[in-house]
Homo-oligomer: A and B are copies of this chain.
Amino acid sequence: MTAYEIIQKKRDGRELSAGDIDHMVSGLLAGDVADYQMTAFLMAVFFRGMTAAETELLTRSMLASGLTIDTSSIDGAKVDKHSTGGVGDKLSLIVAPVAAAAGVSVPMISGRGLGHTGGTLDKLESIPGLSTAFGPEEFVALVGRVGMAIVGQSPDVVPADRRMYALRDVTATIECVPLIVGSILSKKLAAGLDALTLDVKVGRGAFMATRERGEELARALLATADRLELPAVAVLTDMDAPLGATVGNALEVVESIDVLRGGGPSDVRETSLELAAQMIDLGNAASDIEEARRAAARVLDSGDALEVFVRFVEAQGGDPRIVDDPSLLPRASITAPVISAETGSVTAIDSLEIGLAGVGLGAGRVRAGEAVDPAVGVVIETPVGASIGAGETLAVVHASSEETAARAVERVLKAFTIGGEVPPDGTRVLEIITQKQVSGRS
């Protein structure tokens, strides 16, 4: 089969063989398949989809394109959490130390922010001295010593994803379930995990705008992980409004520490504990999910999780004093309040708009590779459900210039909906989907 014939086969809706898929993936790296053939293929996949078998084969081919990290020297279960990305999503900074404090090893490979969604590596690098650039061996050693590590992707791991993602990014083929599944799971399998908790976000600020689409992605991820013998669970979480009160790198680190101290916004605490509990359960560090939930709350409230966090910061070269003295973190030179013109209740905060306001301030990037400003961002003072009077403060913008501040104030104001009716108290955790439910196995 040539690339032409494989494209044609997918175009016509026929099922691809292992050899077909491998020819496209390894051929792209070897130069036998041209970029312009790969993008036609990816668009055909967008329209035709992939069967469960094809998605598994795609993931396997992508995984085989690079190195797999050997985590066998780490004691106990290695469990990671992956989020599909959101606004104000600082959960990794809390979930990883909570799970590690409860006895699970967390080898977490994270990414950077792009567009309105933030990235864990950007947030962490706002901590003075902290590095996320470690090779596979150092990474494994860090997890063994601290119980967790959060690092960037090594270029030797799943190079096919790097090439394919760059092409998808410029050809409108990102939003395609089998391609998303292949991209996420190949990288997670390459990290030598025993199990994986998936945080699939749905809503305005998420990649999947509707719950239906989020469920579709979650089920495809779980089914493919099952075929690849990777135990996994998916938590569908609401991303209509920003998570917690802060959007911006250093601002989110401060909020994470607040939660690790037992305070902080309740939605961040609640969602972090559920995700950590699922990791603890998957890693068999508790007898069942209820015991895992209790263990997660216990290590958070006891300060054990905060202690792991301090050790993690120190191990990766960061200044651990930031935990007690947040003023050591970068701070914006300008703060500007966002003032309500109306009286009523906050009924919605558009997380997409808040995320884009953050990008405008320099907290995020439009293109991969751009630098971010660790200090800037948005702090929400009046969350969804709270009442507000005309002239009172909805949010505070942290900026590096009067000009970017003014633009962000305007955009953040528009993101708020003030109404008469207070929406019912919602939980962020919409649904938990297990692999058993998806695979139909008992």
Contact = CB atoms under 8 A, between A and B. Distances in A.
Interface string A5-19: 101100100000000
A37 to B, nearest CB: 6
Nearest to A35: B36
A172 interface: yes
A285 interface: no
A266 interface: no
Contacts of A7: 171-172
Interface residues of A, number: 24
Nearest to A46: B11
A167 interface: yes
A37 B5 CA distance: 20
Interface in A197-246: none
Given A36-B36, A167-B36, A172 B43 contact: no
Interface in A163-180: 167, 170-173
Chain B CB count within 10 A is highest, among A39, A46, A173, for A39
Nearest to A7: B172
A305 interface: no
A4 B170 contact: yes
Contact of A42 (B3, B40, B167, B170): B40
A34 interface: yes
Stoichiometry (number of copies): 2
Interface in A37-60: 37-44, 46-47
Contacts of A167: 36
Contacts of A41: 171
A42 to B, nearest CB: 7
A37 B43 CA distance: 10
Given A11-B46, A43-B11, A47-B47, A172 B38 contact: no
A170 B11 contact: no
B46 A171 contact: no
Contact of A173 (B5, B38, B40, B47): B40
Contacts of A5: 172
Nearest to A171: B40
Nearest to A43: B43
A39 B39 CA distance: 6
B171 A4 contact: yes
A5 to B, nearest CB: 8
Contact of A171 (B36, B170, B172, B173): B36
A39 B3 CA distance: 13
B37 A40 contact: no
A36 B170 CA distance: 9
Nearest to A11: B172
Contacts of A171: 4, 7, 36-37, 40-41
Contacts of A36: 34-36, 38-39, 167, 170-171
A172 B40 contact: yes
Contact of A37 (B3, B37, B39): B39
Nearest to A48: B47
Contacts of A42: 40
Contacts of A173: 40
29 contacts: A3-B170, A4-B171, A7-B171, A8-B172, A11-B43, A11-B46, A11-B172, A34-B35, A34-B36, A34-B170, A35-B35, A35-B36, A36-B36, A36-B38, A36-B39, A36-B167, A36-B170, A36-B171, A37-B39, A37-B171, A40-B42, A40-B43, A40-B171, A40-B172, A40-B173, A43-B43, A43-B47, A44-B172, A47-B47
Given A4-B172, A11-B172, 11 more contacts: A4-B170, A8-B172, A11-B43, A35-B35, A36-B171, A39-B39, A39-B43, A40-B40, A40-B43, A40-B172, A44-B47
